[in-house]
Amino acid sequence: MTQTSGRKLSMHQKQNIIGWFFLIPATVLIFWLSFYPMIRALMISFQGGRPTALTWSDPLTRNYKFLLKDRVFIQSLKNTFTYLIIQVPIMLVLAMIFATLLNDHQLKFKGLFRTCIFLPCATALVAYSLIFRTMFAYDGMVNAVLVKIGILNEPVNWLNNPSTAKAVIIIALIWRWTGYNMIFYLSSMQSIDYSVYEAARIDGAGAATQLFKITIPLLKPIILVTAIMSTNGTLQLFDESVNLTKGGPANATITMSHYIYNTMFQNNPNFGYAAAMSFVILILVAVLSAIQMKVGDKRE
Amino acid sequence: MNEGAFKKYGKRTLIYVFLIIMSIISVFPLYWCFISSCNTTQQILGGRMVPSSHLMENLKNLFAQQDVLNAFKNSVINTVLVLVLSLAICSIAGYGFEIFHDKGKDAVMAVIMMSMMVPFVAILVPLFQMFTKMGFVNKYIGYILPSLSTPFLIMLFRNNARTFPKEVLEAARVDGLSEMGIFVRMFVPMMRPTFAAAATITFMNTWNAYLWPKVVLQTPDSITMPMLVANLLSGYVVDYGVVMAGVTICTLPTVIVFFILQRSFTEAVAGAVK
Amino acid sequence: MKKLISLLLALVMVLSLGSAAFAAPGDQADGKLTIWCWDKTFNIAAMEKAKEMYQAEHPDVEIDIEEVLSEDIESRVIASNGDTTTLPDIVLVQDHSIQKFVTNYPEVYHDITDEFDFSDFMPAKLGLSVVDGRNYGIPFDAGTVVAAWRTDYLEEAGYTVDDLTDIDMDRFLEIARDVKEKTGMPMLSGQAGAVDTVLIMLQSCGGSMFNEDGTANIAGNEKLKAVIETYNTMVAEGIFIEVNSWDEYIGTLSNGSVVGTFTGCWILSTIMSLTDQAGKWAVTNMPAMVGVDGATNYSNNGGSSWAIINNKDIDLALDFMQMYRNVDFYNEILPTTSAIACYGPAKEGSNYTAASEFFNGDAVFAKIVEFGDKVPAEVTGPYYYDARGNVGTAVTNALNGGDLDSELQTAQDTTEFTMGF
């Protein structure tokens, strides 16, 4: 008995060591190519001055203190959170609905539907921003349709009004990323034996019951991945703000990443301040991810 | 027809209608882009939604202005390299993080996650300086290295490995299979849907990557398709017909890859959870 | 397992082979010039011509003209952070970026004050590339403002292009209202929030967002305020249509949904590409502001200059750029590129004085060079884009009912905030 447990322990240790070997290539790459530059960036966030002649700020937290007084930054923070709170839940729920519908073995043209719903995220940014702007223009298609069917009394200048411009960005995000998230749900659903659903159906369970009692509990790990990824993606949102609205009207749609980009590449470059803003994003994502992990990352 | 059948039939129709509408909304911009590649700039900006006969002319101008074949070739090489290497590196790591998990590895995982939480622009300058010193600028390795190991893929494989049945693992160990053998012979085949999803996403991300490549790939022979499209948009006069022809060529590979791989998402997999 | 390892090995080999295929440009042998610019039909074509002319005399010099987007050139200079090994010998720079880049990366850009003779160049243009009294840019294309009008629309309302020449804003608004009433057409269009038009009008009366000492001059700037009020009047009355993007703006011109535009002369390439509208356009100067000092009918918007990078081949680069005073060069590139020189004597070139068929026989290019000499100089600085963004916010907010004075104060504060680091 004692001997067995001793052997087991050593086997466990052996596995533990092998396990580390599995991780080494990926971990080394990340530490080398992400953490090393990140630490440099962290140092820069306490510095100021011309990019090639940075000096330590006095006081060290000067860049971070400036953040609290920067209206554009605070505006961008508010905008980004608006997108996060509205867009992420709608998108993930929709993705789950699509995945469930398209996982139905009796459904015809599944491959076609799947491809169609995935396509938005493969559509080049150039094409999609051009057409979204055209469609939401004052004399564009969206206004024409909505006025015709009586939802609107008169056309709306979507991109030139702070709240409708935000709405267009949210619509664009949902349009673009729902299919992307659907893929992960769909692929994970394959590890659930389809007969489980058939058995549930015979027991009289409806679609909703199947979703909440079978699918969601089993998909929890992947739902967590998508939730964290979407939170991260939205807090670092850049493309839509730059290409659809240019952050306007009057910074009403600018995101944090867009503002950081401007601070480095468009305005007079201020590396220290851009780095400080980046670490604020890191802290926000880390806190939100930690909460999500706390709720979802449990091994049964 | 009894009421139950009618209810079922009606529900089906509703699902189809819903999916068809959603598909149309999803595909519309891409459709418009394909259509526009057959139109002139004036037709495109005038909002023409049906193709006219300028496709050949646009393609001819596109190939005359830009070395499309070379950019396409670069994009294919870069994407295939990243795809194969990153799937190998990240799937092994994700598997390792989950199957051999302990407090130490969970902590490493949490730290790794942090590396995706800083906007890339913040590390761009330090990273580029590193690469200049190492002589990686303008080389394949400079382009692909930063995308080989991504927290996202590691996390995807790690969390999906959670559904890998313990019984299979134990049985394989009893059979004397090495740990690497278990990964290659048991885990990889069983996780085909996950690999397919990861491959699709990695393909798309790498194919469309823009900010890093345009900084690190500086010679004209090394430009990629998205950079080529951006070049088309740079002038005082933009020919949108040519741009859309370029965008179409740039988008098609992702569409095709997805269409091929999507079947793997829904293939029944042996040993699924009961 | 073995398969996997051999696959990985094979990949590593492919990778290292691939690496060998590209030579790093940092190790340039002497006698080779690399130039970065971004528009095949414009500045690249111009450089190809310069290359041809230079190689005729120096056949052994290798010159690489590489297509790199303006924003990519900027990103690469920023990413390399003062290290020029990965940079070329000559780059094209947007005029309003020069101050920012030279101030931040003085080690990258070569001081060319004593290398070239800058007399006879457009004064307003030259000023943009002077930092602390030293020259860093060789002017390339002018951004001299032209007003281009559809004569058929004007005629419909009973006007000719002469009625729109050398006029002031009061007269312009009068005509615009009349044209709108008679034809239903707005006179102008532009991107919302982009403030191009505001800044064009500001420079036309010698105004700027900065004081001579580099501090922000936004709040309490009477010229700026007058300009924004005029602009907002035009938008409010539907004389100026705001659209949401650059392509929509171009669309208004190509669809003929506006009477015309006033902006940098590079817009003529776009207008001349609308072959179905040949003969329907005329070019003149812009309306002058009313009630402010120094108002003129001339301004500038956009344009670019060549900068020389502190790299191995500086002497060669300097020698190559000697074409900057070559009238033939400017003359030869004009028909294919429509790049209008900032060098005064260029207007004597045969292509400049030739009648333009598209514009009903008017010699528009010589006219534009003449306009260029009358453009008031502008005070600019490294914080140009910061200030521009903030003024844009103020204009948009004022249009939506905000109080202009307090919006300008906010823009002043925000700009000073950025400058305060």
Does 1.10.3720.10 match the CATH number of domain B56-265?
Answer: yes
C247/A133 CB distance under 8 A = yes
Cis-peptide, bond into residue A59, ω within 30° of zero: yes
Cis-peptide, bond into residue B213, ω within 30° of zero: no
C266/B137 CB distance under 8 A = no
Among residues C241, C274, C389, the alpha carbon closest in space to that of A160 is found at C241
C101's tokens = 């880049």
Dihedral sign for Cα C71, C77, C80, C86, please: positive
B163/A218 CB distance under 8 A = yes
Q: Which residues in chain B touch residue A265, judged by CB atoms under 8 angstroms apart?
A: 121
CB contact at 8 A, C220 and C304: no
Q: How far apart are CA C163 and CA C160, in angstroms?
A: 5
Mean pLDDT of C2-8: 50
| Residue C158 in this model has a pLDDT that exceeds 90 | yes
A116's tokens = 């169609």
Q: C70-96: buried (b, 16+ CB within 10 Å) or exposed (e) per residue? A: bbbbbbbbbbbbbbbbbbbbbbbbbbb
B153's tokens = 């893929």
In chain C, residues 175-194 whose CB comes closer than 8 Å to chain A:
192-194
pLDDT of residue A110: 85
| Residue C63 in this model has a pLDDT that exceeds 60 | yes
* Distance, first Cα to last Cα, chain A: 28
C421/A159 CB distance under 8 A = no
**In chain B, which ranges are continuous DSSP H helix?**
3-36, 41-45, 55-65, 68-99, 103-114, 120-134, 140-144, 151-161, 166-174, 179-182, 188-190, 192-208, 211-216, 225-232, 240-265
Identify the segments of chain A with pLDDT beneath 50: 1-6
Packing angle between helix C169-183 and helix C222-236, nearest 10 degrees?
Answer: 10
The CA distance from B151 to the nearest CA of chain C, in Å, is: 21
| Residue C415 in this model has a pLDDT that exceeds 80 | yes
Residue in C82, C104, C396 closest to A249 by CB: C396
Among residues C159, C161, C145, the alpha carbon closest in space to that of C361 is found at C161
Q: Which residues contact B247 (CB under 8 A, 6 or more apart)?
A: A124, A126, A127, B33, B37, B229
pLDDT of residue B5: 65
pLDDT of residue A18: 86
- Check CB contact of C245 with chain A, cutoff 8 Å: yes
Q: How far apart are CA A156 and CA A164, in angstroms?
A: 8
Report the topology of domain C145-299+383-419: D-Maltodextrin-Binding Protein; domain 2 (3.40.190)
Strands C32-37 and C90-94, bridge-based pairing: parallel
The CA distance from A245 to the nearest CA of chain B, in Å, is: 18
Q: Determine the distance from the C-alpha atom of residue C8 to the mean position of all C-alpha atoms in its chain, rounded to a whole number.
A: 50
Looking at residue B66, the DSSP 8-state letter turns out to be S
A129's tokens = 């921003």
Q: How far apart are CA C384 and CA C96, in angstroms?
A: 7
Q: How far is CA A210 from CA A15, A199, A217, A298, C124, in A?
A: 38, 10, 10, 22, 72
CB contact at 8 A, C201 and C227: yes
- Please tell me the CATH code under which domain A71-296 is placed: 1.10.3720.10
HSE of B121 in the Cβ direction (CA atoms, 13 Å)?
Answer: 27
Average pLDDT score, chain C:
90
pLDDT of residue B266: 66
CB contact at 8 A, A48 and A63: yes
Q: Which residues contact B182 (CB under 8 A, 6 or more apart)?
A: B169, B172, B173
Per-residue pLDDT of chain B in tens (274 residues, 90 and over written 9): 455 666 677 888 999 999 999 999 999 888 888 898 999 887 887 777 788 888 999 999 999 989 999 999 999 999 999 999 999 999 999 999 999 988 889 899 989 988 889 888 889 989 999 999 899 988 888 999 999 999 999 999 998 898 888 888 889 989 888 888 999 998 998 888 899 989 998 999 999 888 899 889 888 888 899 999 888 887 777 888 899 999 999 999 988 998 888 877 766 444 444 3
In chain B, residues 59-98 whose CB comes closer than 8 Å to chain A:
89-90, 92-93, 95-97
Closest chain B residue to the Cα of A265, Cα to Cα:
B121
Q: Which residues in chain A touch residue B22, judged by CB atoms under 8 angstroms apart?
A: 98, 116-117
CB contact at 8 A, C79 and C113: no
Among residues A64, A37, A54, the alpha carbon closest in space to that of A280 is found at A64
B124/C79 CB distance under 8 A = yes
Superfamily of domain C27-143+302-366: Periplasmic binding protein-like II (3.40.190.10)
C74/A268 CB distance under 8 A = no
Q: Quick: pLDDT tens for A264-280.
A: 999 999 999 999 999 99
C79/B125 CB distance under 8 A = yes
Closest chain A residue to the Cα of C77, Cα to Cα:
A265
Q: Which residues in chain A touch residue C380, judged by CB atoms under 8 angstroms apart?
A: none
pLDDT of residue A9: 60
- Check CB contact of A262 with chain C, cutoff 8 Å: yes
> Among all chains, which residue has been given the structure tokens 């922000």?
C216
| Residue C148 in this model has a pLDDT that exceeds 90 | yes
> Among all chains, which residue has been given the structure tokens 């700027």?
C208
Cβ atoms within 10 Å of A3's Cβ, excluding its own: 7
B259/A134 CB distance under 8 A = no
Ramachandran region, residue A84 (left: φ > 0; alpha: ψ -120 to 50; beta: rest): alpha
Looking at residue C340, the DSSP 8-state letter turns out to be P
CB contact at 8 A, A95 and A185: yes
Strand order in the sheet with C62-67: C62-67, C32-37, C90-94, C304-308, C138-141
Among residues A246, A250, A255, the alpha carbon closest in space to that of A281 is found at A255
| CA gyration radius, chain B | 23
Going from N- to C-terminal start, the domains of chain B cover 56-265
ipTM: 0.86
B244's tokens = 């859309």
pLDDT of residue B4: 64
Among residues C273, C317, C177, the alpha carbon closest in space to that of C233 is found at C177
Strands (E), C281-375: 281-284, 304-308
